[in-house]
Amino acid sequence: MTSHQHGDETTEYTPLLGDAPPPQQPDWKQRLLPQWTPKKWRVILVTVMILLFVNFGDTLSTAPQVRIFEEAACRKYKRSIGLVEPNGTVVLDGDICKSEPVQSEVALVIGWKNTLDILPSVAFGLPYGVVADKIGRRPVIIISLAAIALSEILPRLVCWFDWPLRLVWLTGIARAPGGGQLVATTMLLTIVADIFEADERATALFRLTSLSIAAEIVATPISASVMNIDPWIPYFLGLAIMLVTAMASFFMPETLDDAKARRLLAEEIEDEEDIPESLQPSPTAKDTVFNTIITQAQDFISSTRHMWRNPKLVVLLSVAFAGSMDRSSLFLIIQYASTKFSWSISEASYLISVRGCVSLAAFWVLIPFLSTYLTRSLHYSAVEKDLYVSRISAFFGALGYFLLFIAPTPAPLVIGTLFMSLSLPFVVGVMSVATSFVSPEHVATLYSAMSVMQSLGAIVAGPTFAKLYAVGMQLGLAWSGLPFAAGSLIFVVVLIPMMFLRPARVD
């Protein structure tokens, strides 16, 4: 007997379980956004806000500061040689302001200011890293950002009231309580490293670092345009933005427990025996912050011993100082281009945008493409891939700085700036490689050690670049790019050990 189904009538051919429901299609949020936890989203959003707007405010002030410092040095020089109006005023003259004594003084002031601003990172960077690994990352980032923003008030006061220009060197004292800019940056990167796995950590660090570059691209033309009206407008506006953005650090969640949880889940933990159980405070410990800092001062050497016993980690820490040249060269390239090619400060500042566009393309396009090729096509491990990226970045750094040194016309100068921009991923790649050699609970200490090495390099680079610039100006305008020759040589030197470094494969 044959039966049929009419309408909703059930027959012997009707499936007992009915039709399977169609698979649910992901909505636009699932297709476009990463599937992160709320805590991950909070960390990323706060980090993005801090990195973007603090660097926006800083870049907004970069070119105006060079011009304002130049005007202050020019007024002082004209007074010293008796070029003062009968009523006591000093009228600035473009030719005199571009002379060797004025330019050497500006380079000296900015070079030493950068050095002394970074000095707190050397003095307090590694201790802050140890403290962050014990009591938490959040208190360190709050204090550090607040100190940075408040310290920028001093150079504005010095220039506004026409005080001796070298008083701006005291800004480093105001940064001391927070350890300086490198401590703040490394704490942010540490927090991100706490919540991202190894396979996505480097990409996250590269893209977050690129936010400062995006800020440069946007802020530079704004600063250059407003400078034509009055350089004081972007100079004070940059300070206001930094002060307001520093408050965002209060919304950053604590991630130390995440780092401890990852350590407990790790299959292999190196140097576990170096950390006695008595030095690992429980989450409910009632020790005060002061007592904790005193305790860490006593076991500081044992807490960092794991880094110095690993030869590969020592190499990576040693080469990290190459990343310290970025800040010194950024100010100097504006002054160098303005003097050598008779550009205005605002015109020379557009080189920052050129540098930013190329660097942003490197972080968001070139590095991800190269990383995908190395891991999927050549089957490189994450560590090998990051090491390869660091080598390429160092090569472009050496080439870019050399072209800046020899540039007889603006064209090689711009090309050199493009290649120099491709060196910015170097430090991030080195940090990611170094992270693979320590357990998660030591990441803040490692990153702080990296910041100390960069700070030591900056302490040398700032005044050395300034002195080389002054020597070059004395030898003749064609030699004014002498500090960039030194930058090229530094990248060649750090590239040599990087070429021989062979990390074990880490999947």
Residue 284 has pLDDT above 60, yes or no: no
Percentage, residues of the chain above pLDDT 90: 40
What was the pLDDT predicted at 442? 78
What was the pLDDT predicted at 507? 40
What was the pLDDT predicted at 296? 43
Residue 403 has pLDDT above 90, yes or no: yes
The residue-averaged pLDDT of 376-389 equals 88
Give the model confidence (pLDDT) of 124-175 as tens digits: 877 888 888 888 899 999 999 999 999 999 999 999 999 999 999 999 999 9
Residue 279 has pLDDT above 50, yes or no: no
Cβ–Cβ under 8 Å, residues 473 and 354:
no
**Phi and psi at residue 409, to the nearest 5°:** -135, 170
**89-93, 111-115, 480-484: which has the minimum mean pLDDT?**
89-93
Residue 374 has pLDDT above 80, yes or no: yes
Residue 301 has pLDDT above 60, yes or no: no
Cα distances (Å, whole numbers) of residue 300 to 12, 133, 260 = 80, 12, 19
What was the pLDDT predicted at 230? 95
User: Is residue 26 very low, low, confident or very high in pLDDT (cuts 50, 70, 90)?
Assistant: low
The residue-averaged pLDDT of 224-252 equals 95
Residue type, 302: S
Give the model confidence (pLDDT) of 343-358 as tens digits: 999 999 999 888 889 8
- CATH of the structural domain 38-261+306-500, one choice from 1.10.10.10, 1.10.730.10, 1.10.540.10, 1.20.1250.20: 1.20.1250.20
Q: Report the SS3 class of residue 213.
A: helix
Q: Report the SS3 class of residue 250.
A: helix
Most confident of 296-305, 316-325, 352-361: 352-361
Give the model confidence (pLDDT) of 420-478 as tens digits: 989 988 988 888 888 888 877 778 778 777 777 777 777 788 889 999 999 999 998 88
pTM (predicted TM-score): 0.77
Determine how many CB atoms are found less than 10 A away from the CB of residue 112: 18
Residue 278 has pLDDT above 70, yes or no: no
User: Is residue 183 very low, low, confident or very high in pLDDT (cuts 50, 70, 90)?
Assistant: confident
Determine how many CB atoms are found less than 10 A away from the CB of residue 450: 27
**57-71, 131-145, 181-195: which has the minimum mean pLDDT?**
181-195
Q: Nearest Cα to 427, choosing from 406, 399, 447, 407?
A: 447
The residue-averaged pLDDT of 258-275 equals 61
What was the pLDDT predicted at 480? 93
Cβ–Cβ under 8 Å, residues 433 and 383:
yes
- Tell me the Cα Rg of the chain: 27
Q: Compute the distance between CA of residue 452 and CA of residue 445 in angstroms, rounded to an integer.
A: 10
DSSP readout, 35-92? ---HHHHHHHHHHHHHHHHHHHHHHHHHHHHHHHHHHHHHHHHHHHTT---TTS----
Domain ranges, ordered by start, for the chain: 38-261+306-500
Structure tokens belonging to residue 457 = 């390099």
Taking all residues of the chain, what is their mean pLDDT, rounded to a whole number?
A: 82
Greatest CA separation for the chain:
123
Q: Which DSSP letter does residue 14 get? A: S
The residue-averaged pLDDT of 199-208 equals 71
Nearest 5 degrees, angle CA 271-CA 275-CA 281? 140
What was the pLDDT predicted at 151? 94
For 90, left (φ over 0), alpha (ψ -120 to 50), or beta? beta
What was the pLDDT predicted at 260? 80
Residue 59 has pLDDT above 50, yes or no: yes
What was the pLDDT predicted at 129? 80
The residue-averaged pLDDT of 29-42 equals 74
Percentage, residues of the chain above pLDDT 70: 81
**100-114, 454-468, 476-490: which has the minimum mean pLDDT?**
454-468
The residue-averaged pLDDT of 85-106 equals 81
User: Is residue 93 very low, low, confident or very high in pLDDT (cuts 50, 70, 90)?
Assistant: confident
**237-241, 300-304, 424-428: which has the minimum mean pLDDT?**
300-304
Helices and strands (H and E) in the chain: how many: 23, 0
